[in-house]
Amino acid sequence: MTQATVTTGPAAKAVGASKFYGNGDTEVRALDDVDVEFERGKFTAIMGPSGSGKSTLMHCQAGLDTLTGGQVFIGDTDLSALSEKDLTLLRRDKVGFVFQAFNLVPTLSALENITLPMDLAGVAPDQAWLDEVINTVGLADRMGHRPNELSGGQQQRVAVSRALASRPEIIFADEPTGNVDSTTGNEILAFMKQAVDTLGQTIVMVTHDPGAAAYADRVIFLADGKIVDELLDPSAEQVIDHMKQLR
Amino acid sequence: MIAKLVWRNITGKPFRFLLTCSAVTVGVMFTVGVFVFTDGLRSTFDDLAGDIEGNVDYAVRTQLDFGDRDLTAGLIDPELDAVLASVPGVAATQPVIQNPFCCAPTDGNGELQQAATGPNLGLNWEDKRLDSRYFLIEGSEPSGPDQFVLDQDTFENGEFELGGTYSISMPTGPNDYELVGTFFLGAPDRNALVGAIAVAFKTSTALSDLYLGFGYYRIDFELEDGADEASVLAAVTAILPSNGELVTGDEILAEREESFGNVVNNFRVFLLVFAFIVLLVSAFVIFNVFTILIGQRIRELGLLRAIGASGRQITWALIGEAGLVGIVAMVAGTGLGIGLGWSLRWLLSILDFGPDSNELVLTPTTFIFGAVVGIGVTMASAIAPALRARRISPMAALREDARLTQYVPPRTLALGIPFVALAAVLIVVAISSDNWQNVIVLGPIAAIANAFGWKRINAIAGQYATLALGLVLLVATLVLDMGTGAVLSLLGVAAATLFLGVNGVSPRLAQPVASFVGRWPLAILLGIMGVVVTLLSLAGFVGVLFLVGVSVKDLITDFDAAGVAALVGCIALFGFVYLVFRVGVRAVDASFIMGWRWTQVLAGIGVFVIGAIGAIAALTGLAAIVAADWGATVTIPIGAVILAAAVWLRRFLPKTLKSNARMARENAGRSPRRTASAAAALMIGLALVSTATVVSSSFKATFADILENSVTADWFISSADNGPNPAFSSELANQIEQLPQVDTAIRFRFLLEAYATDFDGEVRDSSATNMRESLGHLDPDFVELNEDAIARDSIWVHEDFANDNEFTLGSTFVIRFPDQTSEAVRIDGIYSDSSIYGNRVVNLELWADHYPAGQDQFVSVTVNDGVAQEDARAALSAVTDAYPQINLDTRDEFQDRQSAQIDQFLTVISVLLLVAIIIALLGIAITLALSVLERTRELGLVRAVGMTSQQMMRMVLFEGAIIALFGGVLGVALGSVFGAAAVAVIPDDFIRTLDIPVLDMLQYLAIASVAGIGAAIIPARRAARLNVLDAISQG
C-alpha cells in the first residue's frame, strides 16, 4: 500500500445527502439533506436514538448503501458516480470496517483476516506497518488462531487491525464495542484512539454508548435524519446531557 | 397443529420444496418409464408372437431337450409331409421353414436391406394351409425356384420393382432371385414384423436354399371337420419318428410368447439396475438436503420445543414434510415416467420398430412401484435426520451456534453382540449356499444387522463396521470358489456396502482432501478444461445449427411426426450445448481465482503439464503393480522425479491469492459430513463408470493379449451383423479355401447349449472348428496334445474340465446333441487358455452332422509365404465382397474393431449412468445453494471489506469444483478397486488381463471438476448478487 495521499481536504464528506424509503404517506426519511465533513486524522462519533439515521449515514458514506439524493465523497471521489465494482474496490482499498459482531471470516486465521483486503487486491502487505499494527493491538502470539479460538474482545481487536492494516483513507466502526464487556470495550476504544492520535488514522464510529463517544474528538448527533447537534472533545457526561436534550 | 406447521413450511418456501422434490422425481420418472416402456414392448411382442405363430391347429416337429429351437433344433424329414397328409382325418398339412438368421436382400441401389432392430427372416410361402397367415399385396405368389416375395414395408422403403432380379444373402451364399410379389405377415392390413425384414420362397426352394435340403422346421396340420380329434392325433403320433413330437398351436404360441417375454424381461432388469442406481443416488441427495434444512431450522425447532412441542411432534412434523415431498415426487415422477415410457415407444415406432399404433400399457405394478419408490425412498432418507431433530433441546432457540448433534446409540452389548452374530451367520449362509438370490437378499440384511450391532458395541467400531464388512465381502469374492452368478452378486453387495461404508468414513477425508486438491493446479486444470469445453460447445453450436437446418428442410418437404420429433430433439440439443458453453466459460472464469496474470497463468500451465505427466507416469506404474505387470513399474520412479521437478519449478510461480482459494477449500471442508454426502452421490455414479471402464479396458487388453500370444492367423472374417446370431454362409469359407494365395482357412461355430455330457447330464457350451488346421492358426496353450490322433471324434478340453471330471488324455465320454443322437468323443488335447475355445472344442466334421444347417460364425485365414498383404486383401475381398455384412480384417484391423465394439458398449453404460450423475450434480447444487444461504452474513462481510462480486463468484465455483473432485476421487478410487475385483472374478475365458486405464480415470476427474463448476453456477450467481448491506445486517 502506498503512503496515503496527503491532501488538505476532509477524509470524507456528505453533501445534501438524502435517503428515503417508500413513498407517499409511508415515506420514511432516514437521511434528510445531511451535510457533514469528517476531518482527516480525527476520531468522530455519530450518535442518535434508534431510527435517527446514524447507521444509514455511515452505510452510505462507506459505499455500502446508495443515496436517494445528494452526494458522498471519500477523499475527492464522488461515490454516487461509481459502479458497483468500483465501490467494492474503493471499500477494499480506501475504507476500513469494524462491525459490531461477526467481523471475521471463521475459516481464516487472525493474520489472514487482517491481510484479507490486501490479499483480495493481490498486493503484498507492508510488513513493517503490519508488524507495528499487530504489536500495537497486542495479539502477536494469537495470529495463527482461528476466530473461534479468540475471545470476543480479541476478535474485535483483530477487526480493528484489519481496518488499519491497509492504511485506508477512513475507517468506519459500527458499534464496535456493542458485543463485549465494558473493560474490553474500553481497551478497544483506547486502541482506536491511539490509532488516530499516533498513527494519524481517520475513524468514524457509530455508537449509542456515551462512554464510547467520549473517546472521540468530536460527536455528531442525529435525530430524524438530520444533524441536530455537535460536540468537540466531549466527556461522557456532556454526551449524556446532549442525548437527553434530543429525547 | 403439526400438520399446519408442515404446510406453512412448504408454502413458505415453495422453491426450496420443489428443489427437494426434483431429485426424487427423476428417480421415480426413470423407474416408471422403464415399466411403461417394457410393458408396452411386451404387449407388442405378444401381438407379434400371435401374428407369426397364431392360426396353427397342430404341428409335428422334433423334440428339443435344450438349446434354442431356432438355432439348434433338429429338422423334420421332408418325407414325413406326405405321410402325415395321408393320415385319415388330416385336412391339410403345411411344412414350415423359418430361418431368422439369413436372407438380407440387396435393393436396386445396391443397398443391403438389413433389419436394424429385428431378424432378417427367410420363410417358405404357405401354399397348402387352408387359412394362410401371409397376405399377398401386390404381384403374385412365388411359384418358380428362382422367385421370391418381399414384405411390403421393405418393398416400400428400399428401391425394389416387381419383376426385378435381386441378390439375397442365403445360407448357400449370395443368390439372385426374381421379385414377383409383396406381402404382409400376420394381418391383411399391416405388417406384424416389428422391424424384421422377411422374404419368402416357394417351399421347395426354401427347403434347398434355406435349410440346405435337410428338412422342415415344423409341419403344421389341420383336421377335417367332424374328424375324431383323439383318434386322428393318435394316428399322427403313431407315424412320428422317434425324435418327433406332436404339439398344439396354443403350445407353440405360448413358447414363442415366453421366449419373447424373456427377452423383454432381461431388458427390463438391465434398465431397472440403472433405475436402482438413480434411486440410490437420489436417496443420498434427499438425506443430505433434509439434514441441512433441519440444521438451518434448528433455532426455529428449538423455539417450538421451548413453547412446548414434544420431540416426537418435531419428528412427525419433519417426517410429514418428507411424506409430502414423496407424494409430490411420486405424482410428478409417475406422470413424467409415463410420458418418458410412451415417448420411447413412439420413438421406436418412428424408427420402424414395432407397429404404428402405440397403445399405452399401464399395469398396477407400474403405479405400485412409482409409489413405493417415490414415498418410500424419500421417507427412508428423511427418517435419520428427523430422528436426530427429536433431540434438539429447547435451549437451541437461544444459542447462536446450535448444531445438530450426531446420534451415538447407548452401548448395549446384549443387543449388539446378537446382531453382529446374526450378520455373520447370514453372510456365511448366503455364501455357502452359492446361490445368487440368497446373496442378493441376505447380504444387505446382514450389512444392516452388522452396522446396527457394532454401533451398540463400540462407537468407533460402529463407524468403520460397514466399510470393514464391505472389504471382507470384496475379499470373499476374490478368494472363494463360487458360481459366476453368486460371485458377481456378492461383488454387487460388496460394492453397495462399500459405498455406504465409505460414506460413513469419508467425512474424515473431506477436510484433508479438500485442502489438498483445492489449490492452484485445480485452477489450471479448470482453465484448460474450460477452454476445451468452450471450444467443444462452439463446435457443437455449429453442428446443432446444421442439424436444425436439416430438420427444418425435412419438415418443409415432408411434414410428419418424425420430423417434428427431430426438430424438438435438435432444439433440446441446442439447450444442452448452450449449457455446456456456459459451464466452459465459467470454468475459465473460476481458473482466475488465483489472481494471476495471463503470463503467470501460462507459466502455471507449463508447470502443471510437467507435474501432470509425472503424476500420470507414476500412477500408470502403480496400476501396473496391481496388474502384476512388473516391467511397467519403472515409470514410478521416473514419474516421481518429474513430479518433484514440477514441485521445484512451482517456487518460480507467483504466490496465489490465498484467502480466496483458501476460503473456497476451507468452506468445502468445514461441514465435512455435508460435503461428504454431497460428494457421495457423485462418487457412486463415477465409481460405476470407472468400474465399467476398467472392465472394458481389461477386456480389450485380454483381446490384444490373445491376438499377440495365441493367434498366428493372418486374416479374420466375421459378420458385421450385431444380431443374436451373427453368422454367414459356409460357402464363403469354401471359396476362400480355393484361393491360390490361401494356405488354410478354418471355421468357427459356437453354441451356449451345444450338447449334454452323458456322465452328468449337464448341458455344455462348446466350440467347433477344423481341429487339425487350427493348429496353424491358434494356440490355446496345450498342456497335452496328441496331434496324430486328431479325428472326427476328437475333443479338446480345458484343464479345469479335465481335472474336475478326472479325465486324462485319451479318456472318452459320450455327448448327446439336441437331435437326440449321441457320440462318443475322445480327449486328444488338454489346454490351459480358455479364452479362445472356451471350455471345449470338437471337430467341425462331427458338429456339422448334428447341426446340418449351421453357418460359420467366424473364419480365420493363413496365407502362403511370400504373398503380400495387399495381394491377399485383393484376393480375399474379391470373395467377401459378394457377401453382405462381412468384415475382412488383418490382425490390427480386427483388434481395432473389437475395441470399437467394447467402447460402444461402454458408451451405452455411461449414458445410462449419466442420469445418476446428473442427479448427483443436482445434489451438489442444492447443497451449495443451502450453504450459501447459511453463510450469507459471512459472505456479506467479505464483500464489505472488498471482495468483488466476480471474486465471490469464482470462490463458490471453486468450492463446487472441489466438492465434485472429492466425490470424483473417491468414485474413481472405488471404481478401480471394483473393476479390478470384477476382472478377477470374471472367468478367464472372457477376461484374464487386468488393465486400469489411468488416463481415462484422470479424464473422469477432470470432467468431474468441470461438472462441479456446472453445479455451482446458480449458487455462485446467488452469492455474487447478494446485497452486501442486507447480508451483513442479517441475523
Q: A105, B1028: Cβ pair inside 8 Å?
A: no
Q: How far is CA A63 from CA A28, A87, A174, B630, B641, in A?
A: 21, 6, 14, 66, 52
Residue B538 has a pLDDT of 94
Let me know the angle formed at the C-alpha of B154 by B151 and B160, rounded to the nearest 5 degrees.
100
Q: What CATH number does the domain containing A222 carry?
A: 3.40.50.300
- Mean pLDDT, rounded, for B541-569: 82
Residue B602, helix vs strand vs coil: helix
Cell of A219: 460527536
Q: How many CA atoms lie within 13 A of A127 on its CB side?
A: 0
Q: B945, A107: Cβ pair inside 8 Å?
A: no
Residue B884 has a pLDDT of 74
* pLDDT: which is higher, B115 or B553: B553
pLDDT at B65 over 80: no
Residue B862 has a pLDDT of 92
Residue A1 has a pLDDT of 38
- Where is average pLDDT lowest: B183-192, B254-263, B420-429? B183-192
Residues of A in contact with B667 (CB under 8 A): 107
Total number of residues shown for chain A: 247
- Where is average pLDDT lowest: B47-56, B150-159, B502-511, B605-614? B47-56
Q: How far is A4 from chain B (nearest CA, A)?
A: 18
Residue A230, helix vs strand vs coil: strand
Residue B834 has a pLDDT of 83
**Using CB atoms and an 8 Å cut-off, which of residues 643-672 of chain B contact chain A?**
657-660, 662-663, 666-667, 670
Give the span between the Cα atoms of A190 and A208, in whole angstroms: 17
Q: How far is A87 from chain B (nearest CA, A)?
A: 9
Residue B628 has a pLDDT of 76
Give the span between the Cα atoms of B755 and B816, in whole angstroms: 5
Q: How far is CA B670 from CA A201, B507, B927, in A?
A: 36, 10, 13
The model's confidence at residue A45, banded by pLDDT at 50, 70 and 90, is very high
Concatenated DSSP letters of B450-481: HHHHHHHH-HHHHHHHHHHHHHHHHHHHHHS-
CB B850 within 8 A of CB B738: no
CB B25 within 8 A of CB B332: yes
Tell me which residue of B69, B75, B198 sits closest to B133, measured CA to CA.
Answer: B198
Residues of A in contact with B670 (CB under 8 A): 106-107
Query: Does residue A91 lie in a domain region?
Result: yes
- Mean pLDDT, rounded, for A69-89: 88
- Mean pLDDT, rounded, for A79-102: 86
Give the span between the Cα atoms of A77 and B128, in whole angstroms: 103
CB B518 within 8 A of CB B684: no
Strand partners, B856: B728
Residue A8 has a pLDDT of 65
Give the span between the Cα atoms of A188 and A177, in whole angstroms: 7
Residue B147 has a pLDDT of 92
Q: B660, A120: Cβ pair inside 8 Å?
A: yes
How does DSSP classify residue B841? Answer: E
pLDDT at A144 over 80: yes
pLDDT at A6 over 70: no
Residue B585 has a pLDDT of 93
pTM of the model: 0.83
Backbone angles phi, psi at B783, to 5 degrees: -80, -45
How does DSSP classify residue B24? Answer: H
CB B136 within 8 A of CB B185: no
Give the span between the Cα atoms of B30 and B273, in whole angstroms: 11
- Mean pLDDT, rounded, for B869-892: 87
The model's confidence at residue B844, banded by pLDDT at 50, 70 and 90, is very high
Q: How far is A58 from chain B (nearest CA, A)?
A: 11
CB A43 within 8 A of CB A203: yes
CB B236 within 8 A of CB B60: yes
Q: A120, B670: Cβ pair inside 8 Å?
A: no
Residue B651 has a pLDDT of 82
Q: Where are the beta strands (DSSP E) in B911-1023?
A: none
Q: How many CA atoms lie within 13 A of A13 on its CB side?
A: 12
Residue B1006 has a pLDDT of 93
- Mean pLDDT, rounded, for B616-622: 88
Q: How far is A159 from chain B (nearest CA, A)?
A: 11
Residue B656, helix vs strand vs coil: coil
Nearest CA in chain B to A109: B659
Residues of B in contact with A65 (CB under 8 A): 1029
Mutant choice from B515, B659, B931 vs A, greatest count of A C-beta within 10 A:
B659
Cell of A70: 445528494
**Using CB atoms and an 8 Å cut-off, which of residues 89-128 of chain A contact chain B?**
89, 91-93, 96-97, 99, 102-108, 112, 115-117, 119-122
Total number of residues shown for chain B: 1035
Residue B402 has a pLDDT of 59
Mutant choice from B657, B945, B953 vs A, greatest count of A C-beta within 10 A:
B945
pLDDT (tens digit per residue) in B105-138:
888 888 878 776 667 888 888 877 777 778 888 9
Residue B90 has a pLDDT of 86
Give the span between the Cα atoms of B131 and B843, in whole angstroms: 44
Give the span between the Cα atoms of B116 and B1032, in whole angstroms: 64
Mean residue pLDDT of chain B comes to 84
> Grid coordinates 449321441 are at which residue?
B822
Output the CA torsion sign for B438, B439, B440, B443.
positive
Query: Does residue A214 lie in a domain region?
Result: yes
pLDDT at B561 over 80: no
Q: A112, B662: Cβ pair inside 8 Å?
A: yes
Give the span between the Cα atoms of B130 and B263, in whole angstroms: 32
pLDDT (tens digit per residue) in B158-184:
889 999 999 888 888 888 999 999 998
**How is chain B split into domains, by residue range?**
1-54+256-405, 55-255, 408-510, 656-709+891-1035, 721-884
A83 interfaces chain B, CB cutoff of 8 Å: no
Residue A5 has a pLDDT of 47
Helix (H) or strand (E) holding B678: helix B672-709
Residues of A in contact with B949 (CB under 8 A): 84-85, 88
Nearest CA in chain B to A89: B946
pLDDT (tens digit per residue) in B467-488:
888 888 888 888 887 777 788 7
Residues of A in contact with B1029 (CB under 8 A): 59, 64-65
Output the CA torsion sign for A135, A138, A140, A145.
negative
Concatenated DSSP letters of B270-334: HHHHHHHHHHHHHHHHHHHHHHHHHHHTHHHHHHHHHTT--HHHHHHHHHHHHHHHHHHHHHHHH
CB B776 within 8 A of CB B716: no
Backbone angles phi, psi at B97, to 5 degrees: -125, 120
- Mean pLDDT, rounded, for B891-912: 87
Helix (H) or strand (E) holding A233: none
Query: Does residue A28 lie in a domain region?
Result: no
Give the span between the Cα atoms of B1005 and B383, in whole angstroms: 33
Give the span between the Cα atoms of A227 and A209, in whole angstroms: 18
Query: Does residue A183 lie in a domain region?
Result: yes
Tell me which residue of B488, B459, B460, B455 sits closest to B473, measured CA to CA.
Answer: B488
Give the span between the Cα atoms of B125 and B122, in whole angstroms: 10
Strand partners, B784: B830
ipTM of the complex: 0.87
* pLDDT: which is higher, B156 or B595: B156
Concatenated DSSP letters of A90-132: HHHHHEEEE-SS--S-TTS-HHHHHHHHHHHHT----HHHHHH
Cell of B686: 463415477
Residues of B in contact with A97 (CB under 8 A): 944-945
Residue B404 has a pLDDT of 62
pLDDT at B411 over 80: no
pLDDT at B397 over 80: no
Residue B680, helix vs strand vs coil: helix
Tell me which residue of B10, B289, B17 sits closest to B923, measured CA to CA.
Answer: B289
Nearest CA in chain A to B511: A107
Cell of B727: 453368422
B1035 interfaces chain A, CB cutoff of 8 Å: yes
- Mean pLDDT, rounded, for A26-40: 86
Q: B948, A89: Cβ pair inside 8 Å?
A: yes
- Where is average pLDDT lowest: A54-68, A192-206, B307-321, B891-905? B307-321
Strand partners, B742: B863
- Where is average pLDDT lowest: B430-434, B558-562, B679-683? B558-562
Backbone angles phi, psi at B737, to 5 degrees: -55, -30
pLDDT at B405 over 70: no
Percent helix, strand, coil in chain B, to 5, is 65, 15, 25
CB B844 within 8 A of CB B749: yes
pLDDT (tens digit per residue) in B533-544:
999 999 999 999
Residue B723 has a pLDDT of 63
- Mean pLDDT, rounded, for B752-773: 90
A to B CB pairs, distance under 8 Å? 81
How does DSSP classify residue A24? Answer: G
What is the domain range of residue A97? 38-64+82-246
The model's confidence at residue B846, banded by pLDDT at 50, 70 and 90, is very high
pLDDT at B780 over 70: yes
Residue B153, helix vs strand vs coil: helix
Cell of B242: 422317434
pLDDT at A4 over 80: no
Residue B407 has a pLDDT of 63
Q: Which of B499-508, B618-627, B806-815 has the highest mean pLDDT?
A: B806-815
Residues of A in contact with B595 (CB under 8 A): 122
How does DSSP classify residue A71? Answer: E
Residue A3 has a pLDDT of 42
Helix (H) or strand (E) holding A223: strand A218-223
Residue A2 has a pLDDT of 39
The model's confidence at residue A171, banded by pLDDT at 50, 70 and 90, is very high
How does DSSP classify residue B1005? Answer: H
Q: How far is CA B614 from CA B636, B647, B734, in A?
A: 9, 10, 54
Residues of B in contact with A108 (CB under 8 A): 659, 662-663, 666
CB B531 within 8 A of CB B580: no
Q: Where are the beta strands (DSSP E) in B855-922?
A: 858-863, 886-890
Residues of A in contact with B662 (CB under 8 A): 107-108, 112
Q: How far is CA B530 from CA B474, B966, B1011, in A?
A: 38, 19, 10
Nearest CA in chain A to B596: A122
Give the span between the Cα atoms of B598 and B608, in whole angstroms: 15
Closest by Cβ to A105, choosing from B595, B942, B948:
B942
Q: How many separate domains does chain A show?
A: 1
Query: Does residue A104 lie in a domain region?
Result: yes
Nearest CA in chain B to A123: B657
